[in-house]
Structure 1
């Protein structure tokens, strides 16, 4: 790969000149030169080369001093030693100082090129290892944050001491935001002031006297607007939180109960110049929600306790007024007391269950966010792996004008395969990479018809299209263990006369595997998270129906928030399953998907992609089909997935049949859509695996199934999202039928 920066630490001038002029610059490397210890170390630290080549002459001591200083300064760039000293002691000492390879003088260009390739590979491996360490460090930080939030969530439902719990929330806020100080303020409704309820790092005397007016303070702005404030400025800036109390940065987050702001949670830095981030805001918002729940629970408990005390007092007065009816009054008292205890116990159980469900919902949302981040990383990895190598070759003009003898060595240096054909489509030139992809020898390919070098029918179809309209063609081929992307173009004279064909073959096996990993991740996320989301939603419905006890307005609001969060999570899962985002909320929300129109759209899309197979698509759509109660985009994706599978396994010139009919299940109308192919059928023992996830390289491919990865598994997951299901039927020796049933309006 050309373009890397190579620092050459010179020894003898003619050796360095030979290395630079005969090897490095012709191969496209960017050359940096240094001489002497000071210059060498300076350039290694400032220019950040990808490789260092050290020319060590008879005076080996300066070279070792350079290596020792580079090691002391933490430079991890791979080093190649070029030396005429064939001493085992010198080589061992150099390797201990970080040299990854060595070449003895005199050396050939091939020897130094091989050493450069090995050393650059070591450098890339080291860079990748550093990246992995950074990712692991970030994950460890996330795990600690989740552990703290989980502990606070449990404490909200188990710790009865409100003072202790609020102090734990402030301590967690200071730790998670890496702040110097933190405090929790509540509104005194009588004086319209904010007073301190809990704090850390402020000093007891200062905390006891901390009061600020709501009208003329930044803290009061949070109370009035209900929105957080995050402030940090230049190094010499300071902000006033209270008279005589200046800080360099701070973050205020509101504490809300039933959309009413009752206080705020804050962290600040008085000495450090560290600024707070949106991630800090997110963590403090979660802690503020816990604080709101704890405060509201305490108020509810105090209110219930006051009501119980008032009831007890009334009962006592009634006892004194009706002493003559002591026995009846005593019995009534026992009944009322038992009822009060049952109500209090039911209320506490409902509150505890609601809080646990909310904590689970928060954890589930964070898990989904982490998985989505992993998906982005997997997609980025796929794009990096698929990035083509630079091609230092541009063919212009017709084949007869190209000098084959001079061109062949250049083509053999490419990472892409190259085939050049004349106007009769006979191969006149092929490099070694193309021969490897096609399972042949380069010399054997020369003279063969371009159409015969590859047996894939898509190859012949692409050549036909190229010859018909002259526009460049792109086609993906499966050649043994390789997945190859072929780009076909015409060679022309200046007057436009076609003189031949040039084909570039690029290995996209890793890109294809990375895309399969992304699809696999979508299905995994859906299957692993949808079940707990359903459980959380069911428990919330159970509580809202008061099946386990009477709940109050505050608990009903919290439970409704849980259900809203579950709906949000389901929307995120739907977005993961479909390449483009699905709007309109929950799948299957009754958007009136017309079956006949969707079938025509899906058939047109798949036929446009599979024109070369000349497959006929027949339809048998019932005329009285009701609209589907499902998202249009989801249904279209399901139909395209089933049709893609049928087209893949049906031979060229065959027929694919699509049928749709109405079926009533449990008094609810449904629509059954079936796609039948002519792929020879699926063995009976394999029918249960058709819609499961499987790997091409890890399990056997199912006969009669065109999908080779997660496509049909995604179809199954989408059908389940809409409240439907999928199944497979087979006619051995003829074909198979894949069906989906979906609820109608």
Structure 2
């Protein structure tokens, strides 16, 4: 029967059936591979998609080669010599190339390593093509020598092709065997591929034995019957391997879809819980209600037995306070407990990394035991610690645990916890923002009320200054009238003195002329006129002395006239100052800013007034240059007044705060800017404001800066602030630890306590609160002295304030064995006060 099958495969009809079956099998495998490739491009991993793609490409190549063989056979069918020359080498070359393509498609090592596998396939194909061309040329020479047509199986070239195919099959089987030994469980696809390569190796081996004469020769020449038989058996096995791989992939995808369906149901339940929790969390804007609702909602959504929210203390990053705890089975009173962050490394790690920490196993560590005891559970269990972060700023942590049942949290529950944490963070931040806005609105109302009071005070002060200025103007007017009267009398006396001086000068001139005439006549009248000459000489000296006396009187009168002019100028300036003050009063009624600058502009009349001031004064003109400066300002700045005059205001000092204040003054022409400067070893406070406007009101005339030396006050304030800061830092840490452990004992989280023990613990807590209050008062006094106290008023119920004060003094009253009775009316009017400063 086997010999009959071999004879049929060797015949021409058998060759046609063989090629038809091979093409059909390859088409079936190509259809399966292409379908798997199309399905897996978006839905399957890369390894599955790459396997289907490589198998499809290999099968397309094999189909193309088989088609080439069929076309060549049809072309050479009319010439037996052409058929013998071209078809046998071509068929064997196609078998070798097809075997290489099968090794690339079904050996995982060659298929996954794209560069190596594709490179070997290309090398094998190119080498087969080169050998085919060379061997066909040689075989053509043997065929055309004449005589009967030779059998290609009897030539040495048939041995080359057979050994080549055996080598590829052995290499493929070796690689598959290594992969199967390492793979657990074994893949049916690779097992079938190994069997198929083994059948191909068997077919090539039997063909090689037939060529060697160990088996009966073929019935027809030039045909590789055993190789064809092996291919007819092996190729369907390769197609079956492709089908098995596709079925395995579809099965895994089906299991994955079932898992996704289960996960989707869990996610839908989580979304329902998330919606309900979000609705409850966002119901209120009160922080305490938000925290309580959040803890209860998160516990219900996650199915947690204990849930707590711990927030960072205000202004501290090392202290946490349990602000809300949800535990239906909790024992004790449940006071809010504060504890150091260093005692809970898991919480510290979650806050520092801003990531969730999930412990799904029971851990009986002291830190975890303490954490569960704070939440009211005597047992430990799985716990989720989710940080609450808002804009990269940690607010606290959300803690959920199952200390009673020990149930672990699922992946969907941990993800739901992250989502709920975001909702809780937004709700907490909204509640805080609402509280801050209310506080800010009350503070703004209080500030506006204070500003109105300050404006009233400044207006009263300016009206008093205006009244005083009017009295000074009246006094100056009286003195000016007296000076003008004296100046008119002096002016008349000066004119009479000038007329008399002219008369004397004319008489002296005539005397000199007469003396010259007498000297000319000295020869004739020397004796008679000598006495007269002496007389005239004496009179001349007397006239010269009288002239000098009149000149001195004239100088005195001119000096008095100059003083009268100065008084007139001062009167004009005083009148101008009065007008400016009147305008300042009217302007102050509309705006509280700029009053000081206008008063300084009006009072900076003369350089003498500036020199009498102990503070430094710098006056700038409309061009931003210094027009006047007193000695005190020059000494504070370490220079001379002449050096500063005509210099730009921005070059007074190199301190950037000075230039910033000048720029701010230029942007707000009706404002006053106050800043602190450091010049050498001095600390100066500078008040800069614009001067009064010109009478026409077109533009300001300039600006004025007043400097005060506060070096000693700044040094004293800095030393005191450093001492208070050091003292508060040293005291707060132990006081916080004592308060935390006292609250822990009072909450009976670590065991029940007796009445006497509770009394002692409450006394300890009260004394610690007294120390904390004293420390806050010390810091408040420091803020008041430094001018940094900020009043934040709120509407306060005095009944609650009195009751809180009595509760705070309870321990002291019990210690002194005093009884205090409180009798308050039912309705007390509300009071605005700052509760932090109480």
Higher share of residues assigned helix = 2
TM-score for the superposition, normalised by structure 2: 0.22
Higher share of residues assigned strand = 1
Higher relative contact order (CA 8 A, sep 6+): 2
Q: Which has the larger radius of gyration?
A: 2
TM-score for the superposition, normalised by structure 1: 0.24
